Structure 1
Amino acid sequence: MLGEKIGTVQEGNQEDLVVKAKQFDIAVGDILLILSRSHRKERVFIFRVLEIRNKLYGEGDEKKVANNLLLSERAVKPSEELIYLEIRGKVLGYVQREEDKWVFYYPSRIPEPFASVYRPKRGADEVLADILRNEISGNLFVGFLRTGGNTPNIPVYLPSDFLAMHMGIFGTTGCGKSNTMMVLIKSAIEANMKKPRTIGFFVIDPHDEYAFGSGENKHGIHHIVECLPDQIRKNVIGEFYYLTPVMSGTRPEIRPYARELKIAWSEILPSDIISIKEVKEQQMALLYLAHAKWKDQWIKRLLYTDANQLADETDYPLVTVLAVKRRLSFLHYSKVFVEDSNLSVLPQIIKQLENGNILIVNTSLISEEEQFLLTTIVSRTIFSLRAALKSSSYWDEFEKHAEIRLPATFLGKAKNFLKDFYISHSDGKKLVLKQVEELPVVLVTVEEAPSLMKPELMKHGSIFKDISRQGRKFRVGLLIISQQVTPIDNTILSQINTEINMQLGNEREIEAAINNASKNLRGYQTEFRILRKGDALLTASYRMMPIPIHVPLFDKLCVEFIERMKKSEEVVEGQDVSIL
């Protein structure tokens, strides 16, 4: 039932075991199953291979045989019957049958001595999938289970509700992070094809590669959008899904689904600037004073008013005024941040996210600080709205809380559509609000995370630190994408509850990933070193074991999805797309 018997348990404890096995083709990373029947209870222990050694029966004989073979051409190699494998690895846990289903337990027990060890048969994945069902279920596809160098046809999912507990994708250049993001975006679209839509996804695309693909991916998210039936597309994609700073540089076929990215100066708060730039105490105080004094016009006054006049009006030294002007000067030349509030699409962005839609933002044509400010403003706005909602039972209470937290320019445009999302019913006297738990999870990607989440920027407070600590209760999550783990602030790292760890650049980063993981990865150093492109170790606080996965090429998944859409005669929202 469990597969092919390859050996027996030799020794070990409840976490680390040594298996004595025949000369089979075993690889680091393979998952083996150990059948235990101790105390009249049948259990299956899940064992992950971390180290393999060739051994010869007879202590010390390996050296003698090697010397003989080296020195004499007539020396005879030992027969295969005299050679065995010594396999060391980790017990990930065990399962046992309870009421006709497998229940997973942490490794608090040990299999009996000389228990049989099995390798799941290739091509017969049902047994392993059934055993691991609780560890790989959910509604957001991330990849296929990986065992050593093989990838069984066992899909691995994440539950979208846990995205609000924050997620990290860590890996060096070329390891497959962009492909992983495209797979996640596609998965979010598929998850949202069921009622109710569960994920609002704000995706930063620093290389403008997600919409049409690049490199190995000849298809992109736009091909998914285009193949959807009209009604599904209208409901799942919404009014648009692509944001770009310059519409004239956008491919014609995507323009019906695109908007030009503009954010008004009046929608920026001092805390947004402080979150992306290092400022001294006096400069920070001047920013807050200007906002308190001039409200929505604070940036305009700081940029356009003569420095000497500002020094007189604010009673701050000229050197401080000049320093603040320099820090705001990038807004003068920005394609994204504009003085005219009528051009802003921030209300539309929030509307899309609250509606459970995806947004891909092309930031390849703007500076890093513009990208960081955009991510900060969107994160702060959705977080503030959800916090105001959580603090209120009725619409009039929500309005008061929102007016304290958010710029009037934004609220004036957003109130009408926010009523559609936030109001549950009227009790005859007042408008009763929904619970936050009834709304989609909103996931915001943070690209180039080390530059935005370094400790130096966290010392004066940051919306990202606030979201990392409190976002779960407001159903707002961060998806942090980084080549490195070490530069990111420890407070942020400690709040990430789902990690997709891919190839990393050096031993220091590997050690940091192991320390940061939500599940114990001690002993996995060797596996980190042999990860291939697309391979990853998936850990999550709500799972009981680390799951090795391979993220398939988006192109293949996209072509399969398009074919499913073509074959389906009729698709209605709410239908399980997996049957199409």
Structure 2
Amino acid sequence: MTAKQNPIQQTQVCQIIGGSIGKLIARQKSGKIIEIGELLTSDLDENQYAIYQVQDVYYSTQMEQRTIELISGMQLENQESDEIEFFDSELRAYNIVQLKCLAIIEKQAENKFKIKTPKTIPNFFSNIYPINEKNLIFLKKPNRPLYFGKLRSGSKIFNRDVFLDADDVLSHHILFCATTGKGKSNFIKNILWNNIELDSNGILVLDAHDEYYGRGTKKGLKNHKNAKYFVSYYTNHNCPQGAKTFFINIADLKPSHFNAIGNFSDVQKEAMRFYYNLFFKDWISKIFDDETTDDLKEVQKETNLVLRRKLSQILSCTKKHGKLEFNDIFSLEKGQRIIQDIADELENGKSVIIDCSHFSGSIEMLVGSMIMEKIFWRYKNYSRNGQISNKPIISVVIEEAPRVIGRDVLQRGQNIFGTIAREGRKFKIGLIAITQLPSLIPREILANINTKVILGTEMQQEREAIISTTSQDLSDDSKNIASLNKGEAIISSCFVPFAIPIYCPLFEDVILKIKKNESKVKESVFGME
């Protein structure tokens, strides 16, 4: 096969001069600008073309180093440096581009394409061109599309939406990894917004910063046209119109819920299980009851005193006049059905947002543990009874995920989030984990998360942790990941043919555009009337 002019493109930007399948080497054409992460293409034959991604760009020259240093010195030191040139500069000094072939696209029929894994290399001197819209028509919209962003080539944004199948990615877990300020929350807002369009999948959001619903004039899920049908917002702080107050009855608490916190020794956990088995829903009250604890010989007094102290701190409770009093979201009387109601809403395909901005981290994880354990056992029973196929997928958004699925936490004992990470996909339950520090999460957990949205990550240790567990080989993408700007990301998933570079637009801009389009439709309909 000989190099030929690509009929779609206008001008080549580089030309293949060597390398291997995973590391092709090309010479950059003078006057052209090529970025790390940029997508390029070349024709292989009449029905096939290749898609490449730039891994690195560096200098090369036909001149000796001492000659280069002499020329530089003459330009720096000579006052008439503008007149100093060297012969055939464009031929003798140039850039080398390192490429990786992402995929081979084979046209089989009109609007029908087959995406193949590269197993050969292009010919010497094959011309490489910038990718354009016509090269991207193989990207199809799945049956149940979940929007992730716009396709990106380097810093260029294409008007080509990137969708993944919602049922696949949500049930098989998603990880968002990025340094602070790279746009993780913006990505989550966009995904939550677009999930509402599907009208079926339930998502529990433990909102640590009260940023997803949109209080007051802030934009959020409340601005969705279907919010009143598919969004529930719980808070116990200045409850706005349309929100629900959030209280949990301590009778709903079980010893297993505290596994997500990890502050209890094995002896203390055994003592809590003993109280629960003996007193069921009254087990916490009985721990604080002097008469009961004096009569129980199975639990040592020292263990009971430690349990009282720890539970008092976590639940913000004190005993006054022989009765437990709570200062936070827990109550002896209120919230008797709240866990049941939230589980029902999730099963009905709603997005449930819980304002955790006034909770401690322990309370946030305890609340999430209560709800997801309820969901997990409910769905496990559905699976056992053959009813799971008709149930919606349910996911939970966890910020600072190592708090519950970190290596140190799981070594102290299993919790419901670790169980979901390992077994949840079998029961249509998924995690949407957010972290800056994927290295703290065990490798086997990371490997079970089949879709990873990798934003700008500056620390090499964290890049290595995420790269080593991606569905595609990103071993040469470390520089690319480190150079990602705010909103830019790479999606690696077993549900995409290759790692896809994307850009997620600002959530507020997305809402503004949607509202403008809705206004135009209303004006058009009014005009017809």
TM exceeding 0.5:
yes
Alpha-carbon shift at residue 16 of structure 1 (Å): 1.2
Q: Distance in 1 between matches of 2:409 and 2:62?
A: 60
**Structure 2 runs not aligned, ≥5 long:** 1-6, 318-325, 525-529
CA contact (8 A) 1:137 1:156 kept: no
Could you tell me which of 83, 96, 113 is aligned with 1:86? 96
Q: Which amino acid is 1:219 matched to?
A: K
The aligned counterpart of 2:264 is: 279
Q: Does 1:328 align with 2:297?
A: no
Counterpart mapping for 1:224-243 below 5 A: 224=224, 228=225, 232=226, 236-237=229-230, 241-243=232-234
Alpha-carbon shift at residue 445 of structure 1 (Å): 0.9
The aligned counterpart of 2:36 is: 28
CA contact (8 A) 1:6 1:22 kept: yes
CA contact (8 A) 1:519 1:539 kept: yes
Structure in which a larger fraction of residues adopt helix: 1
Q: Secondary structure at the match of 1:92?
A: strand
Q: Does 1:305 align with 2:257?
A: no
Q: Distance in 2 between matches of 1:464 and 1:498?
A: 17
Alpha-carbon shift at residue 95 of structure 1 (Å): 1.2
Q: Secondary structure at the match of 2:274?
A: helix
Change (3 A) 1:3 1:525: same
RMSD: 2.5
The aligned counterpart of 2:527 is: none
Q: Distance in 2 between matches of 1:108 and 1:269?
A: 55
Counterpart mapping for 1:374-389 below 5 A: 374-389=367-382
Which digits, 9 at most, give the CA deviation of each residue in 1:350-401, with x for residues without a partner? 11111111112111111111101011111111111000111115xxxxxxxx
Q: Secondary structure at the match of 1:151?
A: strand
Q: Distance in 2 between matches of 1:45 and 1:300?
A: 67
Q: Does 1:11 align with 2:7?
A: no
Q: Distance in 1 between matches of 2:440 and 2:269?
A: 24
Q: Secondary structure at the match of 1:141?
A: strand
Q: Secondary structure at the match of 1:538?
A: strand
Q: Does 1:211 align with 2:213?
A: yes
The aligned counterpart of 2:173 is: 166
Q: Which amino acid is 2:289 matched to?
A: T
Alpha-carbon shift at residue 84 of structure 1 (Å): 3.4
Q: Which amino acid is 2:300 matched to?
A: P
Alpha-carbon shift at residue 263 of structure 1 (Å): 2.0
Alpha-carbon shift at residue 534 of structure 1 (Å): 0.9
Change (3 A) 1:531 1:381: same
Q: Using the TM superposition, name which of 364-373 and 258-267 deviates more.
A: 258-267
Q: Distance in 1 between matches of 2:173 and 2:252?
A: 26
CA contact (8 A) 1:218 1:555 kept: no
CA contact (8 A) 1:211 1:220 kept: yes
Q: Secondary structure at the match of 2:13?
A: strand
Q: Which amino acid is 1:205 matched to?
A: D
Q: Does 1:120 align with 2:131?
A: yes
> Percent identity between the aligned chains?
25
The aligned counterpart of 2:276 is: 291
Q: Distance in 1 between matches of 2:342 and 2:135?
A: 42
Counterpart mapping for 1:481-500 below 5 A: 481-500=434-453
Q: Does 1:548 align with 2:490?
A: no
Q: Distance in 2 between matches of 1:184 and 1:202?
A: 13
The aligned counterpart of 1:458 is: 410
Alpha-carbon shift at residue 562 of structure 1 (Å): 1.6
Q: Distance in 2 between matches of 1:145 and 1:376?
A: 36
Alpha-carbon shift at residue 507 of structure 1 (Å): 1.5
Alpha-carbon shift at residue 322 of structure 1 (Å): 1.4
Q: Does 1:98 align with 2:79?
A: no
Structure in which a larger fraction of residues adopt strand: 2
Alpha-carbon shift at residue 169 of structure 1 (Å): 0.8
Q: Does 1:143 align with 2:146?
A: no
Change (3 A) 1:158 1:334: farther
Q: Secondary structure at the match of 1:519?
A: coil
Could you tell me which of 159, 165, 188 is aligned with 1:181? 188
The aligned counterpart of 1:220 is: 220
Q: Which amino acid is 1:536 matched to?
A: A
Alpha-carbon shift at residue 189 of structure 1 (Å): 1.4
Which digits, 9 at most, give the CA deviation of each residue in 1:60-115, with x for residues without a partner? 66556445434543521555642433110211121111233221111222222222
The aligned counterpart of 1:370 is: 363
The aligned counterpart of 1:509 is: 462
Change (3 A) 1:64 1:243: same
CA contact (8 A) 2:204 2:352 kept: yes
Q: Does 1:390 align with 2:383?
A: yes
Q: Secondary structure at the match of 2:75?
A: helix
Q: Which amino acid is 2:445 matched to?
A: I
Q: Distance in 2 between matches of 1:287 and 1:544?
A: 49
TM-score (norm 1): 0.80
The aligned counterpart of 1:250 is: 239
CA contact (8 A) 1:137 1:158 kept: no
Q: Does 1:449 align with 2:440?
A: no
Q: Secondary structure at the match of 2:198?
A: helix
TM-score (norm 2): 0.88
Q: Which amino acid is 1:328 matched to?
A: L
Q: Secondary structure at the match of 1:296?
A: helix
